[in-house]
Structure 1
Amino acid sequence: MADEIIFYTNPMSRGQIARWMLEEVGQPYQAVILDFDTTMKADDYLAINPMGKVPAIVHRGKTVTEAAAICAYLADAFPDAGLAPPADQRADYYRWLFFAAGPVEAAVSNNALGLVVPEGRERSIGYGNFDQTIDTLEQAVSRDQWICGDQFTAADVYVGAQIDWGLSFGTIGTRPAFEAYAARLRERPAYKRQKQLDNALIAQMQRPA
Structure 2
Amino acid sequence: MAGTTDGIVFYTSPQSRGRMVRWMLEELGVPYRAELLDLRAGVKAPAYRAINPMGKVPALVHRGVVVTETAAICSYLADAFPAAGLAPAPDDPLRGAYFRWLFFAAGPVEAAVSARALGLLAPAEKAGMVGYGSFDRVVDTLELTVAGAAPWLLGARFSAADVYLGSQVLWGLMFRTLPEQPVFVEYAARLRARPAWQRASALDDAAAASAS
Q: TM-score, normalised by structure 2?
A: 0.94
Separation in 2 of the partners of 1:11 and 1:23?
A: 15
Separation in 2 of the partners of 1:3 and 1:12?
A: 25
Query: What's the CA shift string for 1:68-114, capped at 9, x where partnerless?
Result: 11111110000111101232221110000000000000000010111
1:12 corresponds to which residue?
A: 15
1:174 aligns with 2:180: yes
Aligned residue identity for 2:59: A
1:121 corresponds to which residue?
A: 126
1:47 aligns with 2:56: no
The count of residues paired between Structure 1 and Structure 2 equals 206
Alpha-carbon distance, 1:3 to partner: 4.4
Separation in 1 of the partners of 2:89 and 2:47?
A: 38
1:149 corresponds to which residue?
A: 155
Q: TM-score, normalised by structure 1?
A: 0.96
- Per mean C-alpha deviation after superposition, the further-off stretch among 181-190 and 79-88 is 79-88
1:24 aligns with 2:38: no
1:31 aligned counterpart, secondary structure: strand
Q: Do 1:163 and 1:182's aligned partners in 2 also have CA atoms closer than 8 Å?
A: yes
Q: Do 1:57 and 1:63's aligned partners in 2 also have CA atoms closer than 8 Å?
A: yes
TM superposition outliers: structure 1 runs of 4+ over 3 Å? none
Identity %: 59
Separation in 2 of the partners of 1:122 and 1:138?
A: 20
Query: What's the CA shift string for 1:108-134, capped at 9, x where partnerless?
Result: 001011112112111011100101001
Aligned residue identity for 2:88: P
1:171 aligned counterpart, secondary structure: coil
Aligned residue identity for 1:95: R
Separation in 2 of the partners of 1:116 and 1:105?
A: 12
1:174 aligned counterpart, secondary structure: coil
Separation in 1 of the partners of 2:116 and 2:124?
A: 14
2:169 corresponds to which residue?
A: 163
Aligned residue identity for 2:171: W
Any unmatched runs of 5+ in structure 2?
none
2:88 corresponds to which residue?
A: 85
Separation in 2 of the partners of 1:182 and 1:23?
A: 18
Query: What's the CA shift string for 1:21-55, capped at 9, x where partnerless?
Result: 00001001000000112121011100100000000
